[in-house]
Amino acid sequence: MKVELKYNLRGYSGKLGNMVYCSYYNYRLCHSRIFTYPKLSENHLRMRDISHNLNELYLQASEAYRSDLQLYSRRNAMENQARSVALRKQMPGAKALFVQCMWAWAKANPEALDLKTITLTEMLALESPVCRVCTSVEAGYLKKVSRWEELTQLIA
């Protein structure tokens, strides 16, 4: 099926009725297909449980730690964004950076932790690098930004 775009639209992404439209290659290609709901598998349920647990961990984190993550997020958006306008994309926020660090930590220690059941007290007991923003940068989970050494607030 070929999609025709009207009204000077370069591309369209989203769902309209039972059709899904996707733009690729900086709006040079627009693809459409009929929407079908995916079949849920064990992996979907596992990812849902992990996402809920990581959300709870982020909400339980101290306000000072979350403000450090937000400050890092703003600095990261200013310093590490692509220079070319064509390659720019929205930089991740504080919560997305926290989730990214947790997944990187789980990948580095697959036998030691389970993201479905980890708690803040277990993170502190295991001396996780995610417990402080500066140690996350030192561990390589986050890119370096200016004055990252000052972001030392503890997660709990």
Let me know how long the chain is: 156
What CA–CA distance (Å, rounded) separates 74 from 154? Answer: 19
What CA–CA distance (Å, rounded) separates 42 from 22? Answer: 27
Is residue 136 within 8 Å of 129, Cβ to Cβ?
A: yes
Whether the predicted pLDDT of 65 surpasses 90: yes
15 φ/ψ sector (left φ>0, alpha ψ -120 to 50, else beta): beta
| CA proximity to 119, closest of 111, 110, 128 | 128
pLDDT level of residue 127 (50, 70, 90 thresholds): very high
pLDDT higher at 100 or 12: 100
**Mean pLDDT in the chain?**
88
End-to-end Cα spacing for the chain = 54
pLDDT level of residue 7 (50, 70, 90 thresholds): low
- For 55-82, b where at least 16 C-beta lie within 10 A, e where not — what string? eebbeebeeebbebbebbbebbeeeeee
Whether the predicted pLDDT of 142 surpasses 70: yes
Q: What one-character-per-residue DSSP string does 2-56 give?
A: -----TT-S---EEETTEEEEEETTTTEEEEEE--PPPP-HHHHHHHHHHHHHHH
For the chain, give every domain's residue range. Answer: 1-37, 42-150
Q: Name the pTM for this structure.
A: 0.78
